[in-house]
Structure formats: structure tokens, C-alpha cells
Amino acid sequence: MAEQLLDEMIQKVNQIMSSLDGTIAQVNQMSTAISQMSQSFSEQTVSITENIRLIVEVLKQFRVQSSKSLQELSDDFNQKVKELWDKKAIEAITEEEKKAIEIIKQASKAVADNLYFAQLLNIIQSIREETNRIISASR
């Protein structure tokens, strides 16, 4: 009877060990999967960071070029005004024309601001789409 009880205990211990081996194998598989997901996430994060850095650099270059173009227009406009002033032709400008010039200046500034904000919105939308794509891919 003691021998039979000992055999049953050995059998139960073997079953428990077998079950634990299966559990350990599953935990190892989950650990490997988590490591792979972590590696993939890290790579994608690095990729996004690099893409954002490149986008910011392009924006900086665009802004510098836009500023140069606007500065050239401003310099040209100022030169024309100076020529008119030197010729005293500016005295002939009526009040309505002065208002029109001010409106043109304001519109020029608004267009430049809108262009800048449109570029920023475009970049934000691109980043949002890229992030959603990465999140979708990682699921």
C-alpha cells in the first residue's frame, strides 16, 4: 500500500513537472514575442524620430527660402516707395490709395502666415497618418 501511494505521488509529481514544463515553454514564447515587439517598436520609433527630424529640416529650409523671397519683395516694394518719395510723387497719393496699400500689406502678411500654418498642418497630418499606420501594423 505504501508502495502504491509512493507510485501515485511520483506520478502526480511527474504530471506537475510536465505541466510546469509546458507553462515555462509558453512563458518563454511570450518573452520572445514581447522582445520582438519591443525591438520592432524601438526601430519604428527611431524611424519616426528620423522622419520628424527630416521634416523639421525641410520646414526650416522652406521657411528660410520663403523669408528670402518675402524679403526680396519687401526690399523691392520699399525701393519703389523710396523712389516715389524722392520724386515727391508720394504727395499725390490719395487717402483711398493709402488704405489700399495698407490692405495689400496686411493681405501679404496673412498669405505668408496662412502658408506657414498650412505647411504645419500638412506635416501634423502626415505624422498622424504615419503614427496610425505604425500602431495598426504593430497590432
Please tell me the distance from the alpha carbon of residue 29 to that of residue 20, in angstroms, as a whole number.
Answer: 14
Which residue has cell 503614427? Answer: 131
Backbone angles phi, psi at 53, to 5 degrees: -60, -45
Please tell me the distance from the alpha carbon of residue 44 to that of residue 14, in angstroms, as a whole number.
Answer: 45
| Segments making up each domain of the chain, as ranges | 2-138
pLDDT at 85: 67
The answer to whether residue 75 scores a pLDDT higher than 60 is yes
Report the alpha-carbon angle 32-37-41, nearest 5. Answer: 150
Q: What three-state secondary structure class fits 87?
A: coil
* pLDDT band at residue 90 under the 50/70/90 scheme: low
pLDDT at 20: 81
Helices (H), the chain: 2-86, 95-138
Comparison of pLDDT for 126 and 67, the residue scoring more: 126
The answer to whether residue 120 scores a pLDDT higher than 70 is yes
